[in-house]
Structure 1
Amino acid sequence: MKKTSTKNNSQSLCMAMACKASWRSFYALLLPLLFLLLSQAAVTATGQQQQQWSQEACAPFSCGLFHDISHPFRRTTDPPQCGDRMYELTCDSDKATISIGSTHYLITQLSYKRGTIRLVDPKFASGSCGLPSQSLTPSDDYSSFGVFSPAGNVWASFMNCTRRIEGLASYRPVPCLSNNNTFVYVVVADGGNRLSYLYPSCHFLSMIPAIDAESSTRDAFRILHMGFDLLFYEASNDWKRIIRQCAIESKSLFFDLLRGKHMLSQVYFLPYSEIHFAFCIGDHYQRAFITQITIAVVVFIQIVQLLAVFLILGRLVIAPMIVWFLLGYKLWNRGVTVDLIEKFLRRQQTLMPTRYAYSELIAITRHFREKLGQGGFGSVFKGELLGDRFVAVKMLSNSKCNGDDFINEVSTLGRIHHVNVVRLVGYCSDGSKRALIYEYMPNGSLDKYIFAPNGTNGHFFTSEKLIQIAIGIARGIDYLHQGCDMQILHFDIKPHNILIDHNFTPKISDFGLAKLYPKTNALVSISAARGTIGYIAPELISRSFGKISFKSDVYSFGMLLMEMAGRRRNVDPHAGNSSQVYYPSWIYDKLTQPDEVEVVNKFEIQDLEKKLAIVGLWCIQLRPSDRPTMSRVIEMLEVDDVDCLPIPPKPFLSSRNSSTDRSSILTKHSFDSISIELSSVVSE
């Protein structure tokens, strides 16, 4: 009897525990059901009231030339419950307009069957010439279109080009916006979000959707006069009906899963009902905020369900999880030491650039799809490494590189690590295919910022920023001269070879003419002049001016400083005054004879620009021995009081009144002496 009683008590205890666990499971499964039922009841009540209001006050209306217009569209005078305020129309006697952004677009077609509305920009409605009222660019969420979305993939892109585009039928000119120096074109093409058809000499101005017109249509404004189609959603204001329908479907799916035979299957498939509810809302209702709210509610319900499941299965799950956590923590401690060693080895490996095969370059550049530029060395293409790391791939032509010299240059430049020097990421030497892979500079070169009119490129450097950029370039050159094991002479310092990264930090690039020498060498031996006309030091043209050394880079940097100070090229044949043709000579006269300048013409120069000019004049002294070192240049640029900087001797051969003659003589001398040698540079 005692054994039987004990057995019965044990069975009763087991049944009580099983019953308790079953109730917990039932509560966990009941939560989403209650949510769906409450949602359906609330939606049913509000839906009936909304339907009654709509029958009483919301009748189809006419607007302009359109009739029988109903929701989601409404007029400004309609009751609040009619239509959607985001689809509000402005009606006139013969036209209907709708507002997108800051522009009222003319409605020319409205189709409920296709769910499209055709709009025309007011500037193009009369067939006039000009830019769109506002730019409507494509994006993932079409935020610039408000509640609409584009019905097609044809875009009309306006672009401003610095030179005439010929031979491209897709570039349709806009005569009313063009002049002698600026050419505006319209390109009507598919896939406007990538602008793959953007010509290198052109800049993007504006964009607007267009209909799929025939390519033979020459006048782009005829296409723009026809307007563009947008999609709208007729059921946008009937969200309560959609929620009610999706709730019914999810409830039915929930009970089907609840009837499953296995408890684990019920728990595993239970979230499917909520997931179905979220996707159902997203399929019927295209607005982002409703979808986001739905997802948030579904996530909250699933979190509650997971907590309930953990409470039920806690005793079976928590203990093994603690054991696995302790084991994982020990393994993680051992892995930390391994990771430190691996990171150290990788840092040592990154001291040398990576070698790539030509087939890898094809993958990196996506078959050389995006071309960044073209030069005498070859072409530069944009590429992407693993980890979304963008690079610039410079493909060298066969006539511009020698095998041994190329590898030697790569191994040396690959060890240069300085914030103001473009880093060499890798190289390719695969048969006759040779390339250099540099870090990508998204903001281009310095010349487009200092030579362009104010605001043309979206950035116009202040005098303080120019000083910072000048100091950064000087530090980079000083590092090449003094910071490496070997002295590196660049021989081609100019604005085009100064690249700007995403933080607007200057970086020296293009070491195609650079040479390496021991620091102990006081004399550099080369057999031909190297560099760019206008920046070449005099000793590179004629040895009578002095010895070739690192002071040649100082001269080129001085010419760069003069251009940064005046925000113009050193030689400008289009200058209004003949004395201003050669800028260094003109600014020297302004700095040394201020009294005469005030009598002839009012002359003002800011202190920071004056500092750039004075330091630049010191750097372009004819004799290399009179030029400062780059370390001294950095000190002068960092001086706060510009009046402390002495005015250097006049660094020109000609007298004060013959600056134009000096410019023409030197320029002619430079062209006659090195025009042929620059095409093929050979070292002794």
Structure 2
Amino acid sequence: MAVSSLCLYFLITAAAVLGRASQEDCVDYSGCGEPKDFHIRFPFRLKDKQPNDCGYPGFNLYCTSDNQIAIELPKIPVELHVSFIDYISQIIHVNIPEFHAVQFKKSVQEYFLDPTNSPFAYGLSRCTLMNCSGNPFPCASDCLIPNDGGSRYGNLCAVYSDGIIKDHPEVIWCSKMYNFFGVPTSLVESTDTVLYFSLRWSEPSCTRCERQQKGCRLKRPGTDHETECFTFNKHGKGPWTKSLVTIGLIMGSFVVLLMSIAAFYVHASDKNEKENRLRIKKFLEDYIALRPARYSYTDIKKITNQFRDKLGQGAYGTVFKGKLSNNVLIAVKILNNTKGNGEEFINEVATMGQIHHVNVVRLVGYCADGFRRALVYEFLPNDSLDKYISHAASDTNYSLSWEKLQNIALRTAKGIEYLHQGCDQRILHFDIKPHNILLDKNFSPKISDFGLAKLCSKDQSTVSMSTARGTMGYIAPEVFSRNFGNVSYKADVYSFGMLLLEMVGRRKINTDAKEENGAHEVYYPEWIYNLLEEGEDLRIQIEGEEDAKIAKKLAIVGLWCIQWHPIGRPTMKVVVQMLERGEDLAMPPNPFASTGPSKTMTKRPARRSPLEFEAIAE
């Protein structure tokens, strides 16, 4: 049995090599029978003309009846003709006849705003909202005016930010309100015979390969995620192009190797079969131990060695280090009996039971033994991000490189995006902060502590709350008062923005710090905004130019996330795209009620506290 399994393995391997060899047809395919000013290559493939491994899942192109190249998007009812593909910027330009535009407009917004429908996102334009009240000349908007426009102002006009005066001299009488990313009016009001627009994709990312003038492909044929760069040979083909002689030599080598291994297995089959059975048994035991399980309180005491190794203590319980029978390290959180009515425990078990993500801590098991309750998590040896922020300035042992901080920020954002979009129900965490971002041995972050989480359906835009929840300094304004808008998943975006700004400053900013003379309060986020707005360097300890770019990017994304009104904050999907994009991020509107720019850390402006507004009712 073991011999036949190994033979099957080699046959599959040989087939994979042959399949890879046939991918010479993947490189720069010209099209549908007529010359094009672009070529079709990874991640796209021309359906029915190129092998599946030539492209990435969901990136299929096809030939129309009139030899046009079109992109296959199953839920769009009309043909989307491809006019150009920018592989470096990862943008595909498409067009449709105007007589199909009405069908298209009914479905495009709903289609592209749901990330589960397509790997593509509609390319928004950078726009500026102008207040043209009293303007003697009419202004034609280039972009759709945001939903919050028009209620407080009279005549509004939204124009493209680039070349405002050149393209719209009439707005010289208008006053600028703020910049935003918007939908061009041409998408909904086009009068041309053809409607043009662009789509973007973020994964897979082949930008680095394209800039190096190299090819991009799947690292292993048949996989969905990993890609690699490769160098074309002199014929313009990839390194996988092999002659039939080479393939024959490979197959011959496999046959010889198979015969040798078969002889060895015949000689020692009984011994190996027993070892394989023991190995499978051990694997199944470990797998069962790692699945979420229910433990008795006696089990918990045994696992933690009578609560000998204490890791930390918080408002809701104490955490101890433990070990399962298969030497797997775990962390056990013993919940306080006097806190609440068990809501945190129910939230944690119910929420984490449906979460499976590399950047969310895994719930190994739980204990509900009488009045005793405990949660059993995987053990993460590098503690929480809070330790590295609060100690970074005084202890080099807790210092993290800017590259690691960027990786922590990006992976944390992907974890939150998964909570908002990746589960059957949307999960709102409501307590995103450095203390709840745990780090594994490779300093990869995992979101923890779902005691305050709420579940809601994905089509539910707001949630009902009777009391504010979260940690002071990270709680979004609308959680305190409806004056700022309804409570939604944008509350987690605000908390993540405060976390980013703390990472940039390597300091705690949810409490008031003091200047050296102790005379003024310092509000660090506003100080950062003023420096960036005036084009000055961030006055924090940065050694290299690349580190400075990372710090600036994290700061700008953080300021986007902490806009006072939820509508001004991006979704977590957009946050991930901004963190992955790198440079040239637009500055957000000023989220602070500042009286003017300041080059130094000035007194925090007087502002009505969110606590002074009317409390939210259920």
Q: TM-score, normalised by structure 1?
A: 0.46
- Size of the alignment, in residue pairs? 344
Aligned-pair distance for 1:500?
1.1
User: In structure 1, what residue type is equivalent to 2:527?
Assistant: W
Q: CA 1:396 to 1:329, structure 2 compared with 1: closer, same or farther past 3 Å? A: closer
Structural mapping, 1:320-339, within 5 Å: 327-328=270-271, 335=277, 339=280
- Residue aligning to 2:560: 618
Q: 2:479 aligns with which of 533, 537, 540?
A: 540
Other-structure match for 1:183: none
CA gap of 1:377–1:673, structure 2 versus 1, over 3 A, is farther
The offset of 1:510, in angstroms, is: 1.1
**Structure 1 pair 618/323, CA: closer, same or farther in 2 (3 Å)?**
closer
Specify the SS of the correspondent of 2:529.
helix
Report the Cα offset of residue 625 of structure 1: 0.9
For 1:323 and 1:591, locate their aligned partners in 2 and report how far apart those are by CA, in whole Å: 72
Determine the structure 1 residue equivalent to 2:587.
647
Look up the equivalent residue of 2:526 and give its one-letter code.
Answer: S
1:638 aligns with 2:580: yes
Report the residue type matching 1:635 in the other structure.
Q
The 5 A counterparts of 1:400-411 are: 400=339, 402=341, 406-407=345-346, 409-411=348-350
Residue identity matched to 1:589: N
Could you say which residue in structure 2 is the equivalent of 1:518?
457
**Residues 55-111 of structure 1: CA distance to partner in whole angstroms, max 9, x if unpaired?**
xxxxxxxxxxxxxxxxxxxxxxxxxxxxxxxxxxxxxxxxxxxxxxxxxxxxxxxxx
CA contact (8 A) 2:560 2:569 kept: yes
Tell me which of 379, 390, 398 is aligned to 1:451.
390
Change (3 A) 1:326 1:478: closer
Between the aligned partners of 1:457 and 1:596, the Cα distance in structure 2 is: 23
1:471 aligned residue: 410
Q: Distance in 1 between matches of 2:428 and 2:381?
A: 26
Of 303, 324, 349, 1:364 maps to: 303
**Paired residue secondary structure (2:528):** helix
Q: Aligned residue for 2:19?
A: none
8 Å contact 2:383–2:438 — kept in the other structure? Answer: yes
Q: Map 1:408-423 to 2 at 5 A.
A: 409-423=348-362
The answer for unaligned runs of 5 or more in structure 1 is 1-321, 599-603
2:330 matches 1:391: yes
Contact between 1:414 and 1:425, CA under 8 Å: does it hold in 2? Answer: no
Q: Distance in 2 between the 1:632 and 1:579 partners?
A: 36
User: How far is the alpha carbon of 1:329 from its aligned partner?
Assistant: 5.5
CA deviation after TM superposition for structure 1 residue 481, in Å: 0.7
1:558 aligns with 2:497: yes
Measured after TM superposition, the shift of residue 424 of structure 1 is: 0.8
State the 1:653 CA deviation. 2.8
Change (3 A) 1:332 1:452: closer
The answer as to whether partners of 2:290 and 2:364 remain within 8 angstroms in 1 is no
Distance in 2 (CA, whole Å) between partners of 1:596 and 1:558 is 20
Contact 1:448 1:457 in 2 (8 A): no
Measured in 1, the distance between the counterparts of 2:474 and 2:419 equals 18
Matched, 1:480 2:401: no
Q: For residue 568 of structure 2, what is the amino acid of its counterpart?
A: D
Q: 1:507 to 1:595 in 2, by over 3 A?
A: closer
CA–CA distance in structure 2, aligned partners of residues 331 and 495 of structure 1: 49
Change (3 A) 1:386 1:352: closer
Inter-CA distance 621–470: structure 2 relative to 1 (3 Å threshold):
same
- Indicate how the Cα distance of structure 1 residues 403 and 536 shifts in structure 2: closer, same or farther if over 3 A, else same: closer
Q: What code does the residue aligned with 2:492 have?
A: D
In the alignment, which residue of structure 2 is the partner of 1:435? Answer: 374
Calculate percent identity across the aligned residue pairs: 53
1:293-308 matches, cutoff 5 A: none
TM-score, normalising length from structure 2? 0.50
Report the CA distance shift for 1:566/1:407 in structure 2 as closer, same or farther (over 3 A).
closer
Deviation at 1:559, TM superposition (A): 0.7
Relative to its length, the structure with more helix (as a share) is: 1
Call closer, same or farther: CA 1:540–1:647 in 2, change over 3 Å.
Answer: same
> Please, which of 551, 568, 573 is the counterpart of residue 513 of structure 2?
573
Q: Which amino acid aligns with 1:647?
A: M
Residue identity in the other structure for 1:613 = A
Question: Which residue pairs with 1:656 in the alignment?
Answer: 596
Q: Structure 1 residues 523 and 323 mapped into 2: Cα distance closer, same or farther (>3 Å)?
A: closer
- Residue in 1 that maps onto 2:231: none
Gaps in structure 2 of 5+ consecutive residues: 1-264, 540-544
Structure 2 matches for 1:205-244, cutoff 5 A? Answer: none
Aligned to 1:587: 528
What residue number does 2:401 align with?
462
Query: Structure 1's 615 and 662: CA in aligned 2 closer, same or farther, altered over 3 A?
Result: same
Which whole-Å CA distance do the structure 2 matches of 1:595 and 1:351 have between them? Answer: 51
> 1:51-450 maps to which residues of 2 (within 5 A)?
327-328=270-271, 335=277, 339=280, 353-400=292-339, 402=341, 406-407=345-346, 409-450=348-389
Quick one: distance in 2 between partners of 1:383 and 1:346?
Answer: 16
Work out whether residues 500 and 558 of structure 2, in 8 Å CA contact, stay in contact via their aligned partners in 1: yes
The answer to whether the 8 Å contact 1:352/1:411 transfers is: no
Contact kept? 2:522, 2:603, Cα under 8 Å: no
Q: Letter of the aligned partner of 2:531 in structure 1?
A: K
Contact 2:347–2:453 at 8 Å: present in 1 too?
no
Q: Tell me if the contact between 2:559 and 2:588 (Cα under 8 Å) persists in the aligned partners.
A: yes
Q: Take 2:536 and 2:370, find their aligned partners in 1: how far apart are those partners? A: 66
Amino acid at match of 2:577: E
Q: Is the 8 A contact 2:427 2:454 kept in 1?
A: yes
Contact 1:351–1:415 (CA under 8 A) maintained in structure 2 = no
Alpha-carbon contact 2:593-2:607 (below 8 Å) kept = no
1:609 and 2:548 matched:
no
Q: 2:413–2:576: 8 Å Cα contact kept in structure 1? A: yes
Residues 1:515 and 1:663: Cα distance change in structure 2 (over 3 Å): farther
State the AA in 1 paired with 2:391: A
**Structure 1 496/327 Cα, relative in aligned 2: closer, same or farther at 3 Å?**
closer
Tell me how far 1:621 sits from its aligned partner.
0.6
Q: What is the rounded CA distance, in whole Å, between the counterparts of 1:615 and 1:471 in structure 2?
A: 11
Distance in 2 (CA, whole Å) between partners of 1:595 and 1:458 is: 30
Structure 1 window deviating more from structure 2 (573-582 vs 374-383): it is 573-582
In structure 2, relative to structure 1, the CA distance for the partners of 1:656 and 1:489 (3 Å cut) is same
Q: Aligned partners of 2:342 and 2:435: how far apart in 1? A: 27
Equivalences for residues 488-499 of structure 1 within 5 A: 488-499=427-438
- Do 1:563 and 1:569's aligned partners in 2 also have CA atoms closer than 8 Å? yes
Helix, strand or coil: the match of 1:479?
helix
One-letter amino acid matched to 1:650:
N
Q: Which has the higher contact order (CA 8 A, sep 6+)?
A: 2
